[in-house]
Amino acid sequence: MIMVTSNIYIFLFLLLLHVSLIVVTKGEPIFSYTHVYIRNDLGNNILLTIHCKSKNDDLDVHYLKYQDEYKFQFKPNFLGNTLFFCGLTWDGILHWFNIYVESRDCKDFNCTRNCRWSIQKNYACMFNKKSHAYDHCFDYR
């Protein structure tokens, strides 16, 4: 009986250890929020219409004047595959962009808590914490 109880405690300890390792990602608790900031850098008098969604969330339509910023927040999922995409419209043309891809943004750009984007005419550019500039740029779809 003592051996069975001891094995149960060892199993529970290892399970707890495993769960605690999953909960922390890059030093950040997985239960903390990620904030995404989207700024209109299209030019003076160009209105940016944004409609962002994930598989489970529709963040509605937002309108940004030049240099205005829209922010949303969420808790990344346990699987590490959180994705938010946005329809970005200006001058009557719709552009699509994956504004948050957990595997891309966390791994390649260390964007775990605050992800800042500049929407420009030819590219969506992420803020680079090392260079302090919007120089990680991507094409629209």
Q: What is the pLDDT of residues 8-54, one digit of tens each?
A: 665 555 555 444 444 444 454 556 899 999 999 999 999 999 999 99
Domain co-membership, 91 together with 123: yes
Token pair, residue 96, equals 């699509």
**CA angle, residues 32, 101, 65, in degrees to nearest 5:** 90
Domain identity same for 64 and 108: yes
Residue 6, pLDDT score:
60
Model pLDDT, residue 8: 67
Q: Are residues 4 and 41 in the same domain?
A: no
Q: Find the mean pLDDT for residues 68-91.
A: 94
Q: What are phi and psi of 115, to 5 degrees?
A: -115, 120
Q: What is the pLDDT of residue 110?
A: 77
Q: Residue 11 carries which side chain, given as an amino acid letter?
A: F
Closest CA to 100 of 71, 65, 63: 71
Q: Are residues 25 and 37 in the same domain?
A: no
Same domain? 22 vs 54: no
Q: What domain count does the chain have?
A: 2
pLDDT digits (tens, 9 = 90+) for 83-140: 999 999 999 999 999 999 998 888 777 787 899 999 999 999 999 988 999 999 999 9
Token pair of 42 as six digits = 């299209």
Do 9 and 40 sit in the same domain of this protein? no
Q: What is the pLDDT of residue 70?
A: 98
Segment 67-87 shows an average pLDDT of 94
pLDDT the model gives residue 103 = 87
User: What average pLDDT does range 52-58 have in this prediction?
Assistant: 96
What's residue 32's pLDDT? 85
Residue 21: give the domain boundaries: 1-29
Tens-place pLDDT, residues 128-141: 988 999 999 999 98
